[in-house]
A and B are shown apart, each in its own frame.
Chain A
Amino acid sequence: MQGSVLVIGGGIAGIQTSLDLTELGFKVYLVERNPSIGGRMAQLDKTFPTNDCSLCILAPKMVEVFRNPNIELMTYHELKAVSGTPGDFIATIIKKPRYIDETRCKGCGDCAAKCPKIQVPNLFDMNLGKRKSAYIPFPQAVPPIYLIDPEICLKLTKGVCGVCAKVCQAEAINFEQVEQEIKINVGAIVIATGFDMPAEKLSSRWGYRFENVVSALEYERILCASGPFGGHVLRPGDHEEPEKIAFIQCAGSRDLHEGIRYCSSVCCMYTAKEAIITSEHSEKSKCFVFRHDIRAFGKNFYEFTQRAQKEYGVKYIQTKISKIEENPETKNLTIHYENLKTGEFDNFEANLVVLATPLVHSSGSQELSEILGIEVDEYNFFRELDYYNKSKSTKEGIYLCGFCQGPMDIPETVADSSGVAGQVAAYLNSVKFEQIKEKDIEIPELGIKDDDEPRIGVLICHCGINIGKYVHVPLLAEYVRTLPNVIQCEDNLYSCSSDSQARIKELIINNKLNRFIVASCTPRTHEALFQETCVEAGLNKYLFEMVNIRDQCSWVHMDDAEAATQKAKDLIRMAVAKARLLKPLKEELLKITPTALIIGGGIAGMTAALNTANQGFKTFIVEKETVLGGNLNYLNELYPIEQDASDFLNRTIDTIEKNENIQTFLNAKIKKVKGYVGNYVVSVEESNGNVQELSIGTIIVATGGKEYKPKDLFQYKKENKNVITQLELEQLLKEKGKSWLDDINRITTILCVNARQNEGITYCSNICCGNSIKNIGLLKKLKPELELIVLYRDLQMAKKRYEDYYRERRKDAMFLRYDLDNLPIVKRKSKSPEKYGIKYYDTNLQDFLEFETDLIVLSTPMVPSDNLMDLAKMLKVPLDKNGFFLEAHVKLRPLDFATEGIFLCGCAQWPKNVQDTISQANGAAGRASRFLSAKEITTSGIVAEVNPINCIGCGKCVSVCAYNAIDILDSIKEYEDVSLLVKKSFINSALCKGCGTCAATCPNGAISIKQYDFDQITAMIESFLLET
């Protein structure tokens, strides 16, 4: 077995899984066929639902990959062949010639600047922009190395020119380069090849051939500040600002005629996001979304689409599109459509049309599947081994990660990537850390004495046009150079790029700087990056200060460049004042107990437990019920595989019981949680009253969810036996055979009961649609004469197999659509036999319709489990407004809590089905086992400190500390004549998060926060008010 892994594909999936794998103890070969990693996420403008700038949250991860000594980054390489056996694969990889020596290229761009003006469409800009023969795909490319296109380069095709070689100062141009073959030996292979959006394959009725009809990815490039139009919303044809932009949903997905049977899953959300961002970019453009079923089933997704309509004025029209035609003079588009609400046919004139075209497998998937010997499914995605584990391909040792397996959005992909890493770690457990090399600190930390003269370096970033367009950066740099103690000040285009890091190190070392400031974007995303750079140059990371002149300056003062520049001057001057007083801080090493605690013994908890246990860590499961299994105990059958839930459950419980590393506490609860990451002491109260104290390294929260009982809604009452919820129906189907259906002829299911409302439960619960139609199928099988009706609002069937499953179920029932304005009215017509009358507004007849039914099944949302507040307080983790646990970052850290050492998975995070739960549970276990594998970690140096001389022991600090990091300790003070019992405040630096609340509260000023002490803050204020 080899302790290394080959990851094919450098998008967010490949990147996340590579990073996790190195922390779990494996060397990674990351092969990407394009010249840069980043994939599709690098092409996006903003990401939903937080509207973060996509590249801004991705770039730090890209740079982390680049700087990681255990990831061999092989860009512009392609996999040619694989041989060997699982655990011991031999991969042959072709290195395509860049005609530029990677070891010499500095990414300066001189070659591209002098390259003759023969330009071709730039693939990264979706062929909307152009690039030359010597190029880099985008400015933040990783690695930041240029390459030459052999198809248009004059030297390579005709033997003339060669100017680039003359201007390249690093002498990196090499026209003699040829293809190279490299062989590597790996233990496992992960496929993360992502997706394509081939809009040109659509049939002509969508009008893609017209110049002002674009696909969604092309529109992302149009919106993007670094795209072909500089972030101005212009139409490709005549570069005019479009007044009316039409977004067409379902443009080709769910369409047998186009050959895409499935739902692409992410379009409903990205369309809402694009419409919102468009409204922000441009006053003039009005957005219209032509939608069919809205599938906004993820966390906070549905509210996002509602915000688009209510806050941003985006108009949503429920439609089916007939065709799109072009007006040959104005080049405007006419959309012929049917309005599904009114039943009318209408035409809409738009200046620009954005099509949400289908997302399909990446090109070359078929060939890749043949090289690897794995199967491809009926939709041309890679086939998963079985429903219960979508990360495994059909061959041992080869794993599937992200969109290459099936449509999924970024949070799901990130969770999936961690899950794959966790499973690979379990598979290659015996050879962990064999091929890992530790990060060498080449330059030891320089000792800084308190009275050493501060020598400050400043780097001011243009951030492309984000800062540079609104703040006069060169003027700023000139000004900063005049400030006392500033030895060096430079400005550059992108401080976050890898060559900028090299420059920073150069500046520090060459100028013997002992403080460094970067004035750029937000520390939230980039502080860690720059701190690491300083450490690599021998500077303690706490001698680094970051100034936000983007989010807090250029972005919010776009209309007043002069004022923005002045504000930036003030901000940097204040930072320099603080920097003079910065001190180097020490970080502590903490040992990690190699055990895991899983709170919750449902399928999420059990899967996570099996993963950590299989990696060799002792794992405890604490379950509040008397049996394991959680909600799975109440389910009858699983869809779309139509297998018995109890079979699967019993198999899993069996595996748990046989695993020696797992100890289960049933009918137990968590009484107390003390400690901090790696060193928890958890008190578990067992059923017999005994309290056990467990030493725990990391905690995984898997508390699941429960069904909402819709009291008094739609006649749901105790005495109404024939109005039941879906789980109650599952029970009946499980236990009662079919005799209970003898007197029942017609069953009506109502979806979205008390969900997706304007108030209260505003979210979409993801799983109810699928669950309901599964039960429809079962009922029809039990008693074929049954008449089944489903009243629905939108049908959520986004996952690769669900749309076909839905097509089959449409044969079993009558589907009637209602909306929030006109809820169905249910009245009880008779008591015995129980009969109900339903009145609803039928849009086909444009009139009310009444009918009778014998049984009503209500699909209600999933809500969080009981008593989570107490648990949340104990763990010091937050809950969101719906009561589910709140993760660290909705997009890129869906399984982590902001509090280190605790992880989250399953329905405790958000309602999801069994397959996704298993994937997330593996992900959480993967994330958690990074700590457990590490054996020790370092804590932050930014902590609060008590000066005991000034402390009077009043205890106010204890009452305000959110992390329970402060204790009042007794001590005896001896004086000549008396001994005094004094109380002093003591802060545990391992728990302290440096929030500063205690320092602000202390009446005597006895507490100060390192890195933000009173002197430093005073210096900043004085600098702002008194200096210029």
Chain B
Amino acid sequence: MQKYTPSKIIQLILEGFEDKVLDSGDLWDCLTCNQCLKDCPEDINFADIVRTARYLMRHRNQSVDEYVAHKGIYTTLSEIMSRPYINPERNMEWVPKGCKISDKGNILYYVGCLPFFNYEFEGLDTIAKSTLQIMCKVENEPIVVLSEETCCGHDIYWGQGKLKTFIKLAKKNIDKFEKTGISKIVTACAECYRTFKIDYAQLFEEFESKFEVKHLIEYIYDNWKEGTIEFVKPNKYEEITPFTYHDPCRLSRFLSKENDITGMTREIFKEFEKLGYKFNEMKHNKKNSLCCGVNSWMNCNEKSKALRYTRMLEAKEAGKIMITSCPKCNIHLSCLQNDFEDIASIEILDFSEFLVNHIKVRKSRKKEESK
């Protein structure tokens, strides 16, 4: 049971009693989903406060061990990658035939840590495959995909408040990006997206001007609006398939008001109604979306399971397929399906997996340039 409520926590910090707050350890419980930000009349970003507090709590020798899931192996991997003498070498077998990749170019597909999760959580490869296929169709040049890609640092940063490690990872990444000569980064992971778009931009002055960051959703949306791609090939089932979308917190509440990824998805889904699908919103949607229950591998406990179960029940009511655009949401929600039969029938698909077979390139970029 929490000792202090959020408004009390803030007031205590303002009054100079942050010791009480930090010593109570309450802030380890927070999922940093920022549902509280949605309604806050003063726009207070509580998740940022929690992240900073975690940094301070660790320095008071509070151990993360009882809160982190899977014995902390995933965050440990990130930490290892931050060491200067470690250069990961990722398995590139997942790259589909026919997709041309390179280590120098204009546009980077930042895969993220998917391949490392694949041994325990199945089927994550298809996210990377689908995304790369989409990009290869659209772009007429090789896409940069780095086999020595380093973790973006999101989980280390948010889950454990490890600022220094995060900065080390960031510097490594930026260094690598600069060597490739890219100007554009596309990712299919909501957390990597948020990290580059906001956290890297905040900590490193020139990042924003050097690299344009897009989530796959934006990438597809922009291309669709420009007329480069269209949505084709109706649904393989004869009957209309109802589906729904789980907005990841990092793509709804964590973005600035002008960044309307939420709206973009809805526009795309409306188009899909022509292809034999029916889009239904879940009870909690868009900025009101529920958290997937776990953040940065922290707090996977019974409360988290209850939260996920609620979410899956909402999904069941809304459709046969649940789309999401964050691999973590995907993992955590799928994981629950192992425990409960009644929600196991829902197909959880990543945005890229859902769209990859429905995208057709109308006019290739090369033709455009030669006109």
Taking CB as reference atom, which chain A residue is nearest B14?
Answer: A814
A320 touches B14 (CB 8 A): no
Closest to A254 in B: B41
Q: Flag if B43 contacts A844 (CB, 8 Å).
A: no
The 8 Å CB contact of B39, one of A205, A338, A842, is A205
User: Is B239 at the interface (CB under 8 A from chain A)?
Assistant: no
List of A residues within 8 angstroms of B17 by Cβ: 845
B369 interface residue (CB < 8 Å to A): no
One of A70-78, A255-263, A576-584, A872-880 at the interface: A255-263
Q: Identify which of B3-11, B71-79, B357-365 touches chain A.
A: B3-11
Within 8 Å CB of A256, what residues of B?
40-43
> With the chains together, A322 CA to B15 CA distance in Å?
23
Chain B residues in 8 Å Cβ range of A254? 41
B15 in contact with A320 (CB, 8 Å): no
Interface string of A334-345 (1 = CB under 8 A from B): 000010000101
Determine the chain A residues whose CB is within 8 A of the CB of B288 once the complex forms. Answer: 204
Tell me, in angstroms, the Cα distance from A258 to B42 when the chains sit together.
10
Is the CB of A385 closer than 8 A to any CB of chain B?
no
Interface residues on A, range: 20 to 34
Q: Do A844 and B11 have beta carbons less than 8 Å apart?
A: yes
- Give chain B residues whose Cβ lies under 8 Å from the Cβ of A844: 8, 11-12, 15
Residue of chain B at shortest CB distance from A787: B16
Contacts of B16 in A (CB 8 A): 814
Interface string of B16-32 (1 = CB under 8 A from A): 11000000000000000
Do the beta carbons of A842 and B41 come within 8 Å of each other? no
Instruction: Give the docked Cα–Cα distance between A254 and B8 (Å).
Output: 20
Residues of chain B contacted by A320 (CB below 8 angstroms): 7
* Distance, CA A928 to CA B57, complexed state (A): 69
Chain A residues 869-928 with CB under 8 Å of chain B are none
Cβ A257 vs Cβ B7 within 8 A: no
Given contacts A844-B11, A844-B15, are A345 and B43 in contact (CB under 8 A)?
no
B8 engages A343 (CB within 8 Å)? yes
Cβ–Cβ < 8 Å partners of A815 in chain B: 14
Q: Is A203 an interface residue (CB 8 A)?
A: yes
Output the least CB separation between A258 and chain B (Å).
7
The interface size of chain B toward A, counting residues with CB under 8 Å, comes to 16
Give the distance in Å from the alpha carbon of A845 to the alpha carbon of B24 in the complex. 14
**Residue in A255, A323, A814 whose CB lies within 8 Å of B41:** A255
Considering the complex, give the chain A residue whose CB is closest to the CB of B43: A256
Q: Which residue of B lies closest to A322 (CB)?
A: B39
Given the interface pairs A816-B15, A842-B15, A844-B15, the reply to whether A345 lies near B41 with Cβ below 8 Å is no
Q: A205-B39, A257-B41 are in contact. Are A338 and B5 (CB under 8 A)?
A: yes
CB interface residues, A 174-215, toward B, < 8 Å: 203-205
A257 touches B14 (CB 8 A): no
Total of A-B residue pairs, C-beta within 8 Å: 36
Which parts of A804-833 form the interface with B (CB within 8 Å)?
Answer: 807, 814-816
B38 at the interface (CB under 8 A from A): yes
Q: Looking at B14, B39, B288, which has the most chain A CB atoms within 10 Å of its CB?
A: B39
Per-residue B-contact encoding for A134-154, CB less than 8 Å = 1, 0 else: 000000000000000000000
Q: Give the CA-CA distance A87 to B43 in the complex, in Å.
A: 46
Contact assessment for A814 and B15 in the assembled complex, using a CB-CB cutoff below 8 Å = yes
**Bound CA–CA A323/B8 (angstroms):** 18
Q: Distance (Å) between the CB of B295 and the closest chain A CB?
A: 22
Q: Tell me, rounded to whole Å, the shortest Cβ–Cβ distance linking A804 to chain B.
A: 12
B38 touches A257 (CB 8 A): yes
- Find the A residue at minimum CB distance from B9: A844
Residues from 310 to 369 in B contacting A, C-beta threshold 8 Å: none
Establish whether residues A257 and B5, one from each chain, have CB atoms under 8 Å apart when the complex forms. Answer: no
Report the bound CA distance from A34 to B5 in whole Å: 49
| B residues near A257, Cβ cutoff 8 Å | 38-41, 43
Q: Map CB proximity to B onto A845-859 as digits: 1 under 8 Å, 0 otherwise.
A: 100000000000000
Give A688-725 interface residues, CB cut-off 8 Å to B.
none
A162 CB to nearest chain B CB (Å): 45
Distance from B283 Cβ to chain A, minimum over Cβ atoms (Å): 11
Complex: A322 Cα to B8 Cα, angstroms: 14
Measured CB to CB, the closest approach of chain A to B19, in angstroms, equals 12
Q: Would B7 and A338 count as touching, CB distance under 8 A?
A: yes
Can you list, as one digit per residue, whether each of B245-280 has a CB less than 8 Å from chain A (1) or not (0)? 000000000000000000000000000000000000
* Residue among A254, A255, A257, A815 facing the most chain B CB atoms (10 A cut-off): A257
> In the complex, are the beta carbons of A343 and B5 less than 8 A apart?
yes
Chain B residues near A816 (CB-CB < 8 A): 15
Complex Cα distance, B311 from A580, in Å, reads 84
Taking each of B8, B41, B43, which has the highest tally of chain A beta carbons within 10 Å of its own beta carbon?
B41
Within the complex, the shortest CB–CB distance from B287 to chain A, in Å, comes to: 9
B34-55 contact mask (Cβ, 8 Å, vs A): 1 or 0: 0000111111000000000000
- Min CB distance B301 to A, Å, is 22
Chain A residue contacts of B7, Cβ below 8 A:
320, 338
Residues on A with beta carbons closer than 8 Å to the beta carbon of B8: 343, 844
Nearest chain B CB to A747's CB is how many angstroms away? Answer: 16
Q: How far is the CA of A343 from the CA of B43 in the complex (A)?
A: 21
Nearest neighbor of B38 in chain A, beta-carbon distance = A257
Residues of A within 8 A of B38 (CB): 257
Chain B residues within 8 Å of A322, by CB = 39
Residue of B nearest to A206 (CB): B39
Q: List B contacts of A338 (CB < 8 A).
A: 5, 7
With both beta carbons as reference points, the residue of chain A lying nearest to B40 in the complex is identified as A257
Are A203 and B42 within 8 A (Cβ)?
A: no
How many angstroms between the C-alpha atoms of A256 and B40 in the bound complex?
8
Residues of B within 8 A of A203 (CB): 39
Q: Which residues of B contact A323 (CB under 8 A)?
A: 39
Shortest CB–CB separation between residue A202 and chain B, in angstroms?
11
The residues of B that contact A807 with a CB separation of less than 8 Å are: 42
Chain B min CB distance to A203 (Å):
7
Distance (whole angstroms) from the CB of A980 to the closest CB of chain B: 84
Q: How far is B6's CA from A343's CA once the two chains are assembled, in angstroms?
A: 11
Give the contacting residue for A258; candidates B5, B15, B41; CB below 8 A.
B41
B5 touches A345 (CB 8 A): yes
Chain A to chain B: the 9 pairs with minimum beta-carbon distance, closest first: A255-B41, A256-B43, A844-B11, A844-B8, A205-B39, A257-B41, A844-B12, A257-B39, A814-B14
Q: List 9 A-B contacts (CB under 8 A).
A: A255-B41, A256-B40, A257-B40, A320-B7, A343-B5, A814-B15, A842-B15, A844-B15, A845-B17
A257-B40, A343-B5, A814-B16 known; 19 new pairs, CB 8 Å cut-off, are A203-B39, A204-B288, A205-B39, A255-B41, A256-B40, A256-B41, A256-B43, A257-B38, A257-B41, A320-B7, A323-B39, A338-B5, A338-B7, A345-B5, A807-B42, A814-B14, A842-B15, A844-B12, A845-B17
Chain B residues with a Cβ under 8 A of chain A: 5, 7-8, 11-12, 14-17, 38-43, 288
